[in-house]
Amino acid sequence: MENNSNNGAIFEIGDKLPEMFSKYFIGQAYLKMLTTEGVPIGNVTFEPGCRNNWHIHHKGGQILLVTSGRGYYQEWGKEAQELNPGDVVNILPGVKHWHGAACDSWFTHLAVEVPAEGSSNEWLEAVDEETYAKLK
Reported as a single tens digit per residue, the pLDDT across 60-88 is 999 999 999 999 999 999 999 999 999 99
Q: How far apart are CA 70 and CA 49, in angstroms?
A: 11
Say what the pTM is: 0.91
Which tens digit of pLDDT belongs to each residue from 96-134? Answer: 999 999 999 999 999 999 999 999 999 999 999 998 999
Is the separation of the CB atoms in 124 and 86 below 8 Å?
no
Distance of CA 5 to the CA centre of its chain: 14
* Chain centre to alpha carbon of residue 85: 13
The highest-level CATH class for domain 15-133 is mainly beta
